[in-house]
Amino acid sequence: MPLIRSWVDSANRAGCPFSLNNLPYGVFSVGGDAPRCGAAIGDRIVDLAAAEAQGLLDAGGTFAQGQLNGFMALGRARWDAVRARLTELLAEDGDRALPLVPMADATLHLPIRVTEYTDFYASRNHAFNVGLLFRGPENALPPQWTHMPIGYNGRASSVVVSGTPIRRPMGQLKGDSGPVWAPCARLDLELELGAVVGQPSTMGCRVSVEEAEGMIFGYVLLNDWSARDVQAWEYQPLGPFQSKALGTTIGPWIVTQAALEPFRSKGAERANPLLPYLQESRPGLYDLEIGWSLNGQVMARTNYNVMYYSSAQQLAHHTSSGCPMRVGDLLGSGTISGPAPDQTGALLEMTQGGKTPVTVNGQARTFLEDGDEVALFATAQGDGYRIGFGPCTGTVLPAQP
Ligand code: MN
């Protein structure tokens, strides 16, 4: 599909992340007014609450709310109808009465009320590289890894929107003569994509991969900040806990599954056939360039299609015990890493656990320092248009001993 031209000129410019083909959803406010739902188009935001109040579209009044959960709860038929209506209103021969706000004037908020947060571990390169550092070559890839998506239950309460500073945590660390209480000295990022679950499932009911795909509203950039020294001491046998609870940053714009449809892509080669409940009838990943920068220097670029499990497979597996899912559930993909060091989504891998420093703006670096700014980015390149995800940034604040 080529670029859909809009009467909002900035949306037609080459390289614009918010072409009419994209139309991501977010929550914004201007000045001190109440946060409400919007859609990005070029350098503007469609004020969806005002548009609904003017009778231009129908989302059951949910766009006046300060998060997208109400709209997501309406279900896929309404998601599709509103997207089609917005595309019509914004097309070249559309309705110029549609209320727009300059993006530069807006404050962007957390787009959803995050009801639950689970983080997975679905890049084979990342799982192998990290396993190598934590457990050695024999046990690098856990034996179940190629058979099921593994993850841990994270904290919804610690998810923040892009731009929120992240405080370096204090923690219990392994010392030479017993544990010590100290600032984390191995603070890291994790480059991930988060799937936003827009429809619930019932406790006791398993969801198939196909049904799971129908429940996913869209995707956000996600940085799973990680305290590696805390993690190394605490994580066996129940997995990460305080090392992953210091903050998780998500981007302000949810790119819908509909916008990503033209970029559907097969993932990594399978090492073995999956059990039937995890098999996909069509490719569930996307051809999406994704990467991160540190203090403005691009550190790594890779592709989301290096992943071994799709979000739909992760969601299906998540319900395999009968675990219910909620509107606003957030599923982190797991760190996205390609095989080469300049394709890795974490400093732990890029620096081989801190042994091989990297150069950032002329300085040798291993882990994150106070004042560092990490920014994630992702782009799908279409035929004459782009699908961008907006910013996903965070600056490290010093620890409070
Ligand atoms: Mn993670």
Residues near ligand 1 ion, CB 5 Å cutoff: 119, 190, 224
**Ligand 1 center–CA 331 separation, angstroms:** 10
Q: Are 116 and 165 in contact (CB under 8 A)?
A: no
What one-letter code names the amino acid at 190? E
Any catalytic annotation for residue 126? yes
**Ligand 1 center–CA 224 separation, angstroms:** 5
CATH superfamily of 9-109: Fumarylacetoacetase, N-terminal domain (2.30.30.230)
**Ligand 1 center–CA 159 separation, angstroms:** 13
pLDDT classification of 210: cutoffs 50, 70, 90: very high
**Ligand 1 center–CA 338 separation, angstroms:** 15
Q: How confident is the model over 262-315, as pLDDT tens digits?
A: 999 999 999 999 999 999 999 999 999 999 999 999 999 999 999 999 999 999
pLDDT > 70 fraction of the chain, expressed in percent and rounded:
100
**Ligand 1 center–CA 244 separation, angstroms:** 8
**Ligand 1 center–CA 297 separation, angstroms:** 22
Q: How confident is the model over 53-112, as pLDDT tens digits?
A: 999 999 999 999 999 999 999 999 999 999 999 999 999 999 999 999 999 999 999 999
Catalytic residue among 109, 126, 317, 318: 126
Same CATH topology for 9-109 and 117-397: the answer is no
Q: What residue ranges do the domains of the chain occupy?
A: 9-109, 117-397
**Ligand 1 center–CA 45 separation, angstroms:** 31
Whether the pTM exceeds 0.95: the reply is: yes
CATH superfamily of 117-397: Fumarylacetoacetase-like, C-terminal domain (3.90.850.10)
Mean of all residue pLDDT scores within the chain? 97
Average pLDDT over residues 6-19: 97
